Amino acid sequence: MNQSAVGSLVPRQAPGSYGLPFVSAIRDRLDFYYFQGEAKYFESRVEKHGSTVLRINVPPGPFMARDPRVVAVLDAKSFPVLFDVDKVEKKNLFTGTYMPSTSLTGGFRVCSYLDPSEPTHTKVKQLLFSLLASRKDAVIPAFRSHFSSLLATVESQLVLAGKSNFNTLNDFTSFEFIADAYFGVLPSASDLGTTGPTKAAKWLIFQLHPLVTFGLPLILEEPLLHTVLLPPIFVSGDYKALYKYFYAAATKALDMAESLGLNRDEACHNLLFATVFNSYGGLKVMLPGILGRIAEAGEKFHQRLAAEVRTAVADAGGKVTIEALEKMELTKSAVWEALRLEPPVKFQYGRAKADMNIESHDAVFAVNKGEMLFGYQPCATKDPRVFGSTAREFVGDRFVGEGSKLLQYVYWSNGRETESPSVDNKQCPGKNLVVLVGRLLVVEMFLRYDTFTADVGVDLLGPKVEFTGVTKATSGPGAV
């Protein structure tokens, strides 16, 4: 149905049912975690009701969430309503129908939980923009240094054991890299030593445990992880150690914060959250996602990437520069395609500011003021009405040439890939940095190797990648 035809339809109520209070929410939670899994949970309900906009319950439900009821938008056309801050409020909705205790963030509601209408949101987001701008020249050398060391370790482990777990190495390396890139101070050279990633992971789990499963038996996991929030006191020591590092390492950024009218303490908690939760947490998921998809794409695709990467770097005098990276169309496309299929943050939320209508491809739905809207991003970014019969497949050159028109339907950054973050929206302030880092991983791989093999599976928060072999580069700057 064309857009004008859809717009002329009479709005109707979204199909679906919330079922019995309390009981149905728990039943649906069990479906989500154990009996169906998250993707099948949404897909089966779309199929049952014949609609990509529908009323469902979402986890975690009782007792952590007061109200699990949402209107789900699960296609590429309806999903962007979640980005429109004129239509939806974002206050306290970063993690959805529940909110972790502010005791986990120094007693402050950090930027991710603020609506753009709140004055502190503007100040904190401007601080993040200023930090990124001030450190832009540090990103490429920091990444290359840290990830060159990681790949050297991969090679040593392959020789010794025939395999190498990328996720494990990435957890440490990404923590060091992002702190180095942002602040120029290695966590491992501070009082944190090598404990930073472990402390960060514990702190992340205490915020995200309602939305994940650890693979434990249901009878243990449900009461421990999905019924009540874990007490923040158990990670307070870890958080204080992280805070101490940031307060010392981020001196220049904190000076900037004070010039913007932010309290130094509040600014430090926001920088910690943006660095550890948003940036580091994102890299823990994104980099294995990119690597896994490219591993599965096979040797012929690797040859194309290697040729592009090495030609662009050679043309830049053997250096990896922003200008060289911009010439790598296939590399950019491969990263965007991985982000389309494996978005680091899968769930988005917004509360309707007023009565409104939401359009899917085939219908118009009425939503009432105050209703919670919810999006499961993989449904929207694998929409066959936009991406065709290959919507669920990795097509590395999808966004090359004319394919770049499809970038408006890539939503990983809490906004369209064709749009830019600002203080007035909730799009990721590090959007461009994230794509840059993804491209740098591809560049580092194919300067060093002609091809590689890996086993790809599932980890706690996303893909798991284990190298099984690498073939050293036979041409270009990394040739042996």
294-306 per-position pLDDT tens digit: 999 999 999 999 9
* pLDDT value, residue 462: 86
**Phi, psi dihedral angles at 54 (to 5 degrees):** -155, 165
Predicted model pTM: 0.96
Helices 431-448, 281-297: axis angle to 10 degrees equals: 40
Cα atoms found within 13 Å of the Cα of residue 390, Cβ hemisphere only: 8
Reported as a pLDDT band with limits 50, 70 and 90, residue 460 is confident
Strand-by-strand arrangement of the 364-367 sheet = 12-13, 364-367, 356-359
What single-letter DSSP state applies at residue 294? H
What single-letter DSSP state applies at residue 390? G
* pLDDT value, residue 4: 54
Measured CA to CA, the distance from residue 33 to residue 27 in angstroms comes to: 10
Measured CA to CA, the distance from residue 380 to residue 416 in angstroms comes to: 12
What value does the CA radius of gyration of the chain take, rounded to a whole number of Å? 22
Mean pLDDT, rounded, for 338-364:
97
Measured CA to CA, the distance from residue 458 to residue 118 in angstroms comes to: 38
* pLDDT value, residue 246: 98
- Name every residue whose Cβ is closer than 8 Å to that of residue 175 and which is 6 or more positions away in sequence: 187, 196, 197, 200, 280
Mean pLDDT, rounded, for 212-218:
90
Nearest CA to 131 among 339, 270, 244, 240? 270
Measured CA to CA, the distance from residue 229 to residue 158 in angstroms comes to: 41
Measured CA to CA, the distance from residue 83 to residue 81 in angstroms comes to: 5
Tokens of 94: 């970063």
* pLDDT value, residue 75: 98
Percent of the chain with pLDDT over 70: 98
| Mean residue pLDDT across the chain | 96
Reported as a pLDDT band with limits 50, 70 and 90, residue 352 is very high
- Phi-psi bin for 357: left (phi > 0), alpha (psi -120 to 50), beta? beta
Percent of the chain with pLDDT over 90: 95
Tokens of 106: 């120094």
Q: Which residue has the tokens 């010392």?
A: 248
Strand-by-strand arrangement of the 69-73 sheet = 53-57, 69-73, 372-376, 347-352, 88-89
- Tens of pLDDT, residue by residue over 384-414, are 999 999 999 999 999 999 999 999 999 999 9
Mean pLDDT, rounded, for 107-117:
98
What single-letter DSSP state applies at residue 277? I
Q: What is the three-class DSSP state of 70? A: strand
Is the confidence at residue 475, as pLDDT, over 90? no
Is the confidence at residue 450, as pLDDT, over 60? yes
- Tens of pLDDT, residue by residue over 241-289, are 999 999 999 999 999 999 999 999 999 999 999 999 999 999 999 999 9
Measured CA to CA, the distance from residue 63 to residue 58 in angstroms comes to: 13
* pLDDT value, residue 461: 81
Measured CA to CA, the distance from residue 142 to residue 135 in angstroms comes to: 11
Separation in Å, CA 99 to CA 57, 118, 471: 17, 18, 46
* pLDDT value, residue 3: 57
Helices first, then strands: H and E counts in the chain: 18, 11
Lowest mean pLDDT among 55-59, 107-111, 210-214, 434-438: 210-214
Is the confidence at residue 317, as pLDDT, over 80? yes
- Tens of pLDDT, residue by residue over 25-77, are 999 999 999 999 999 999 999 999 999 999 999 999 999 998 999 999 999 99
